[in-house]
Amino acid sequence: TFGCILISVTTMKPIARLMSNMVLTFAMISCAFAQPPIIRGIANAASGGSAVVPQMLVSIYGSNLAVQTATANALPLTTQLGGTAVAFNGIAAPLLYVSSEQINAQVPSGVRGSASANVVVTTAVGKSSAFSMPVNSGSAPRIFTQDSSGCGQAAALNIHA
């Protein structure tokens, strides 16, 4: 995907007596090519830590991760949001949020038992290179906190059904 702009400027004035019937035209073409996604890091969405386990929420950081910003607005979560999809070892991940520099996703339960996962982001422009990360076989509970530090008062909602 790309876009080009052609800008041309034409002058009708003769530049010399010998070239009195000539028209001089200058043209410039400027092209911007869309780039494939690049993953620079993946972290636990609640604490920023590197421990990743199945079904936890993670934040994926990089560039060109989505062509538009989109937020999930219904349950169950979709595996494609704003034209972006994420896969862990080829298993589609539920998505909560996508933007050009960050994706929030849920690690699929299908990576359970794997020592590592190759994460790939796909957009309309193409696929990222696989980003390899270790998968913790145990658990890694983390709590979202009001100041996003992983310490302090929990950011939680108690719902009585």
Whether the predicted pLDDT of 81 surpasses 70:
yes
Which of 5-9, 11-15, 59-63: highest mean pLDDT? 59-63
The pLDDT assigned to 32 comes to 53
Tens of pLDDT, residue by residue over 17-68, are 555 555 555 555 555 567 999 999 999 888 787 768 899 999 999 999 999 9
Class of residue 73 by CB neighbours under 10 A (exposed 0-12, middle 13-18, buried 19+): exposed
Paired with 70 in beta bridges are 98
Can you read off the two tokens belonging to residue 161?
A: 């059904």
- The reported pTM is 0.74
